[in-house]
Structure 1
Amino acid sequence: MSDPYENTPERVFAALPPAQGRGFAQSWWGQAWLKALEDSTLDLKQLKTGRRLARAGAVGAVSVRPGRVTAVVNDRDHTAHRADVLLPELSEEQWDRFLGMAVERAGHIAALLDREMPPHLVEDAASAGVELLPGLGDLEAECGCDAWDHCGHTAALCYQVARLLDQDPFVLLLLRGRGERELLDALQLRSVSQAETVVVRQETHAGVDAAEAYAAGEILPPLPEAPEVPAEPGLPPSLDTETEPAPGVDPSALEFLAARAAGEAHRLLVDALRAGHEQRVAEAELTAAQDAVRLASGGPEVPVAARLAEGSGRDREGLALAVRSWEYGGAAALDVLETDRPAEAETLARARAALESAWEEGERPVLRASRSRWTVVGGQSQLRLGPDGRWWPFRKERGRWAPVGPASQDPATALALADGLE
């Protein structure tokens, strides 16, 4: 009997090592898959069992093909079960809308042709009526353990997919029905077709839309070579002169600001000239106190640091903690450090469920809850819940709660970091 998948693209990934003491996903795509998984129909017991099996390295080599991912998963007693998870393929109409969306957005087509998957692709695809990540009820299961629905084996496979997306986000598009080569060929064809349309418009109109001209890069005359980017930011002018500064003018503070401005200008130039770069979303406008922390993260000299501490309304130690938070997660981390607002009801319910399922029975620490903070009873560690549902690890240092790492989707991973296990 012939294999029904004989002519379909397939990728096989070798078994991954155990993931003890770490989160399942490090990249944006892997974490987005986990969030979609935890929002699906799998119950907490299945997720808990699957997470345990995946952490232990019980998932074998994984085969990914359109609409299906397959692996052999071993129980604790080494009984092997073939597990399959099915995800609906996109229809031809949906793929047509997806390709049209990608070609219309110059940043997306440049990234995809450079074999990169920008995170904003998900939102822009959704605006075109195409959901890339699985929704409620999308993930179906087949398992050799004869479970009629999802089981611990299929849940473990779902968790392993998050780690595959860390390696290559194109795995998601293959699951949705298109292999990488097929997709890139279709994008090339679509972009050439659109470029030809642009050329015809140029012959009949006085001008051409800038976005269309960019997309037609393969047909229109090439742009000149980008200038070479300096390896380091330029040196700001020295203010160390024999002339006394005017009253209220601090030369050391001005030199520090000039150096930071040169560094930021260099970063913006590098970002602008980097091939296939997806422009970073502009940060929200900062308050004066937040901006003082941002500036202090540059390591100013003591007099400037003292002025920034005063301007931010903090003492020197408080500013040092704020800078540490900023370096872990920007304004969001700073907000978690300094604000203890009650979580919304839905976020709080999900947090409690996550805490309940994050540890095996007998391993769960005793936590004392207060608004959006959970403190280990009798310990020096604390979890703080951000407004987005992520967990931030804290540890008491010299009488103050101090951040000790970036946020995590998994409370057990965050607490392990706070306890110094990672």
Structure 2
Amino acid sequence: MREHDTERTFAALPPERGRGFARTWWGQAWLKALEDAALDSEQVKTGRRLARAGAVGSVSVRPGRITAVVQDRDRTAHRADVLLQELSAEQWDRFLDMAVERAGHIAALLDREMPPHLVEDAADAGAELLPGLGDLEPECECGAWDHCGHTAALCYQMARLLDQDPFVLLLMRGRSEREVLDDLQVRSVTPSEEPTNSQEASQEGVDAAEAYATGSILPPLPSAPELPAQPGSPPSLDTETPPAPGVDPAALTFLASRAAAEAHRLLSAALLPEHEQDAVDEELTLFQDAVRLAADASEAAIAARLAEGTGRGREELEIAVRAWRYGGTAALSVLEDEWVPEAESLARARAALESAWDDGDRPRLRTAHNRWTVIGASTQLRLSRDGRWWPYRREHGRWVPAGPAAHDPATALASVDGEA
């Protein structure tokens, strides 16, 4: 077994509030080894409080041991150590041989990740990386023979360091990051594997670290092509060959043109500066997507097929299309969603209605859930969950959208034809 004089020292971390100490699964496994083995759970809680308060000083990590000075609440300082057995030379050989055979493991470590299958494969090879029950041995100046608040605090702080860099765990197990990477490099290229000509070199490839290091000499990527002002036109399906049974050329042409328009819109958004990009579009339901398509359909036959496909009927689809044109998915939600406002939302709505008109001009309204119907008129206001008002008008016995949303109910109601 080679001699180790490697040591890493991490500056004291600031107090930590409002979150757990381990965000990664391997950091949580480290804490589980502490919490499951400690005989006094109160000492563990004390350690967690001390670590959270920033009472742990600089942490020194070296093979087999971590060390830090931990202050009690009365400012008394104690040196605390936690020991973890190093892997033997034979265990390291088995671990490194396993890692070389699985390139994904090396890539994960370089990305400061420790996926579960890496740890499982290492265990199968006879090298346990994460500590188990009783593997974290405490030593503290306070004289406690089991984990005290000081060693527990050190373990909690160590979990934060492990979150940032799993190589810290490998250092405790006996080898530094540089040693591990050098050993992997040696194992990945042996004399018997060296290529004898350029063709073999091309087949074998090169070491990932070497390829990454020479990336700066590669030519820059070409700039993105200029976005066309309009989406392209789909190919014409008007040929002398008759379509197969069940194939509607007009419908296919329509879908192709809409796909081109949607691709153009998405690409336009992607090329905008990040601060100008809209939020990612929400996923549409089958009915919402059919309404979106129907809003752009100029042929009655296509609208009829869309209505048939959704099972909603032509008239219902036409009303939904009208809503879509006023406000997209938000307007569709108001069309279909009848909900009961909570007390706070209802109070805000009533206050908005009271302040929107002078006393003599205020219409009389009848309330039903989120819908306010003007008494004596065929008009209605619908309140959306975001606090906006949507005007509706009654036509042929059905309520239909009559305008875009407004934050002021009087403004919304005034947009209805025939209403002042």
* TM-score, length basis structure 1: 0.51
1:85 aligns with 2:82: yes
Answer 1 or 2: higher relative contact order, Cα 8 Å, separation at least 6.
1
Question: Any gaps of 5 or more consecutive residues in structure 1?
Answer: 1-5, 265-295, 321-397, 400-422
Which residue of 228, 231, 240 corresponds with 1:238?
231
User: Taking structure 1 as reference, are residues 215 and 254 closer, same or farther at Cα in structure 2, changes over 3 Å only?
Assistant: same
CA gap 1:56/1:71 in 2 versus in 1, 3 angstroms: same
Alignment of 1:174 with 2:171, yes or no, is: yes
* Aligned-pair CA distance for 1:91: 0.8
Give the Cα–Cα distance (whole angstroms) in 1 for the partners of residues 70 and 291 of structure 2.
54
CA distance in structure 2 between the partners assigned to 1:87 and 1:162 by the alignment: 14
| 2:42 corresponds to 1:49 | no
Tell whether the 8 Å contact from 1:198 to 1:216 is kept in structure 2 after alignment. no
**Aligned 8 A contact 1:97 1:128 in 2:** yes
Query: Match of 1:71?
Result: 68
**2:104 is aligned with 1:117:** no
How far did residue 81 of structure 1 move?
Answer: 1.5
Task: Name the counterpart of 2:102.
Answer: 105
Once residues 163 and 171 of structure 1 are traced to their aligned partners in structure 2, the CA distance between those partners, rounded to angstroms, is 11
CA distance in 2, matches of 1:261, 1:138: 54
Contact 1:106 1:214 in 2 (8 A): no
CA drift at 1:94: 0.7
Return the letter of the residue paired with 2:194: V
In the TM superposition, residue 42 of structure 1 has moved relative to its aligned partner by: 6.1
1:163-217 superposed Cα distances (whole Å, 9 cap, x missing partner): 2123432111110011223223322222232xx22238x79xx98997x655599
In structure 2, relative to structure 1, the CA distance for the partners of 1:228 and 1:77 (3 Å cut) is same
Matches of 1:13 and 1:156, distance apart in 2: 15
State the AA in 2 paired with 1:53: L
2:288 pairs with 1:306: yes
C-alpha separation between the residues in 2 aligned to 1:140 and 1:33?
A: 13
1:262 shift after superposition: 11
TM normalised by structure 2 equals 0.51
SS at match of 1:247: helix
- Tell me what 1:256 maps to: 262
C-alpha RMSD of the superposition = 4.9
Partner of 1:282: none
Contact 1:106/1:215, CA 8 A, preserved across alignment: no
Number of residue-to-residue matches in the alignment: 273
Matched ranges for 1:18-417 at <5 A: 18-27=15-24, 29-41=26-38, 44-109=41-106, 115-120=110-115, 121-193=118-190, 196-199=191-194, 228-229=220-221, 238-239=231-232, 246-247=250-251, 249-250=254-255, 251-252=257-258, 255-256=261-262, 298-299=280-281, 306-307=288-289
Residues 23, 234 of structure 1: alpha-carbon distance in 2 compared, 3 angstrom cutoff = farther
Going from structure 1 to structure 2, the CA distance change for 1:100 and 1:316 (only over 3 Å counts) comes to same
Distance 1:15 1:298, change over 3 A: same
Conserved? CA contact 1:71–1:157, under 8 Å: yes
Distance 1:53 1:192 in 2: 48
Task: Tell me how far apart the structure 1 counterparts of residues 102 and 235 of structure 2 sit (CA, whole Å).
Answer: 55
Contact 1:33–1:162 under 8 Å retained in 2: yes
| Aligned sequence identity (%) | 60
Larger radius of gyration: 2
Q: Letter of the 1:47 partner, please give it.
A: V
Q: 1:14 aligns with which of 5, 11, 15?
A: 11
Q: How far is the alpha carbon of 1:27 from its aligned partner?
A: 5.0
